[in-house]
Amino acid sequence: MSSHLLFTLFIIASFPTATPLASFRGTNRLFLDTAVESEWESLLPLGIFHGITTNPTLLERAGHDCNIESVQHLTKTALSMVGCDEFMCQAWGITAQDMYSVGMNLSSVDRERVVVKVPVTFEGTKAASKLIDAGVRVCLTACYCSDQAIIATGLGAEYLGECTIMSTSY
């Protein structure tokens, strides 16, 4: 485990959905935000994390290839570990179609336990809408203003992650 990082908390707001698992999900969950498998092994047994989340930058830092096959392998590894109820992975691509295609492939490992993260951008929002319509669980991420949070809830995204909304008006 790296000395500068004990663990990073990824706090996520969960929105009510009609999924079968919704009856026992809480409203907030902690996710281990890393692609370093040794950190998963040492930190998941703490029992405070609901799952693991990662993205292309974290994959690269951990020495993993950022491609469908590599992420699917990591997903299977993570979901086989005690303490990992869900695995979040971020779709990549320039266009909505790119992110949609990647998201469909990433989620195919286990549609009930894999959540696809998509940035709250114009193209990301289009991709998220298509993924949700296809039955994929979605987390809209990189949310920097309240308008983006409203978009996420309007789309029916199950999660809103990496949310940095600051307000100076009280």
DSSP letter string over 52-94?
EEE-HHHHHHTT---SHHHHHHHHHHHHTSTT--EEEEE---S
**pLDDT score of 164:** 56
pLDDT the model gives residue 29: 82
Instruction: Report the residue count for the chain.
Output: 170
- pLDDT value at position 146? 63
pTM here is 0.78
Contact 52, 78 (CB under 8 A): yes
Tokens encoding 49: 């994390």
- Residue 52 has, within 13 A of its CA and on its CB side, a CA count of 30
Instruction: Please name the amino acid found at residue 45.
Output: P
Q: Which residues of the chain have pLDDT under 70?
A: 1-27, 142-154, 156, 159-160, 162-170
Q: What does the alpha-carbon distance between residue 101 and residue 132 come to, in Å, rounded to a whole number?
A: 13
Model confidence pLDDT, tens digit, residues 95-116: 999 999 999 999 999 999 999 9
| Cα Rg of the chain (Å, integer) | 15
